[in-house]
Amino acid sequence: MKFADYKIDAKVKKGLAELGFKRPTDIQFKSIPNILKGEDLLAVAQTGTGKTGAFAIPIVDIVYRHSKFRKGGQHVKALILVPTHELATQIDKVISAIAKYTGLKSLPLIGGVDQDPQIAALEEGVDIVIATPGRMFDMIHQGHLTTDQIEMLVLDEADYMLDLGFKKDINDILRRLPKRRQTLFFSATINDKIKKIAYKIVKQNAIRIQISPKDPVSKNIEHFVLYVEMDDKRFFLERVVTENPESKILTFVRTRVRAERVSKAMARVDIDSLTIHGDKNQEERSEVLEQFRNGDVKLLIGTDVTARGIDISDVDIVINYDLPDEAENYVHRVGRTGRGKRKGHAYSFCAKDEKETLDEIQGFLKQLITVIKVDKLEYANTLNIEREKKYDYMALIDDINEFEKGKKKKRRKKI
C-alpha cells in the first residue's frame, strides 16, 4: 500500500511526497489507520523504523481536517511530549514538512532557549506543540499555554521519560487535559513496570502494537565487541576513525567530562570531533548536530542524554566507547545507525569491569554479540600507531624482523 492510497487529505499527501515518503514502514502501516479512526494506541517498535511518521502523519491529517470546521481563534489541538530538546526539534521538522501545504503551525517548546519567541508563537496561534516537560509547565503556569482544547496527546520515548523521573509531570498534564482525548504511547522498549503505567494512561481498549518484540534492534545493524583496557580505548577509537575516513561516527561515553576528555584526546592526534551533552546550551547543541548532519565534522561524541534525540539518517557507525549503565540504552544508542534501509555497524569497547554489563546487554538482546579478537601484536600496534604507516601491520612485522636481525649481528660481532 502507498501513502497515495490512504484516506488522508491531498495537501498532507503533497507534503509526504516532497519528503519522499512513498510506502509506510511496518509501524506506520499498523498504526496510521487506527489513529485515523480515533483509537488510543500503545506501540513498541525498534528505533529507526519510522515511529515519528507513524504518529505525525495522522496527527497532521486529523488536526487539519478538524481545523476546517473550527470557529474563532486557534488553540493547541495536539500535544507531543518528549524527553529531550533534540527529539522535540527533530519531530517539529518532520511535522512542519508534512503540514507544509495545510497552513497548520507547530512549535517545539523546549528549555535552554529564550522563551519570548515561544510566547509570541503561542499568542499568535499554534496547532501542534512538541514539548519537554519543564518548558511546557513554565508556559502553562505563566498562562501562555492552555490545555483545555487539546484533543490528542502523544508520549514519545515514553519509557525514557518515566525512567528520567517524569512520571509526576505526566500525571500532572493528564489531569489538565480533557478526559475525551486520544492518547498515543510510543517507545522502542518497554518493561513490565512501564507497561502497567502505560495501560493507565491509554484507554482500556487501546490498540496494542509491537514490531519485532523478540529483536529490539534493527536487523540492518551488525554488532561487534572488542575487549579493550579502559585506558586504551582512545587508541581504538582513533583506529576506527582513521580506517573509516568517509564515515559518520557517533560515539557514546558515560559522562559529560569524559566526552570532553575523549574529544581532546582525538584532537591530540589531529582528529576533529564534536561533543554533545547536558552542559551545552540548546543553541550550542543545535549547532553541533547541524555540523555533524552536514558532514562538516564526522565524529560526534555524546552521552546517553542525547541518544534518543539524534535523528540523523546517515550515521554509519555507532561506538559504545563506554558501555551504557542500562542494557536498554544500548538499543537506543545503536538505533542511531542502520535507519530505514541503510546498513549500520555498532562497535562496543568492553573493559574488564564492564563484562557484567555486556552480559546484561546480550541477555536483553537475547543474542551474543560477535567478538572481534585482537591478538597481542595487533593490540600493541594499535597503541603505538605510526602516523605515516597507518596500521600497516606487515610493515610492523618487517620492522620487528629487522630489529631481530640487528640483535643477531651485534651478538656475532661480540663473539
pLDDT in tens, 18-67: 999 999 998 999 999 999 999 999 998 766 678 899 999 999 999 999 88
**pLDDT, position 401:** 58
The pairing of beta strand 41-44 with beta strand 182-187: parallel
CB 110 within 8 A of CB 137: no
- DSSP labels, 33-82: HHHHTT--EEEE--TTSSHHHHHHHHHHHHHHHHHTT--SS----EEEE-
Domains of the chain listed by start with CATH number: 3-210 (3.40.50.300), 221-384 (3.40.50.300)
Q: What does the pLDDT look like over 365-411, one tens digit per residue?
A: 888 999 999 999 999 999 975 444 444 444 445 555 555 655 555 45
Q: How far is CA 385 from the centre of its chain?
A: 33
Residue 210 gets the label, from left (phi > 0), alpha (psi -120 to 50) or beta, of beta
The pLDDT of residue 395 is: 47
Nearest-angstrom CA–CA distance, 265 and 360? 29
Give the number of other CB atoms < 10 A from CB of residue 276: 25
297 touches 10 (CB < 8 A): no
Residue ranges of the chain with pLDDT lower than 70? 46-48, 69-74, 212-218, 306-309, 385-415
| pLDDT in the model for residue 132 | 92
pTM above 0.75, yes or no: no
**What pLDDT score does 339 carry?**
77
Residue reference for cell 610492523: 396
pLDDT of residue 212: 62
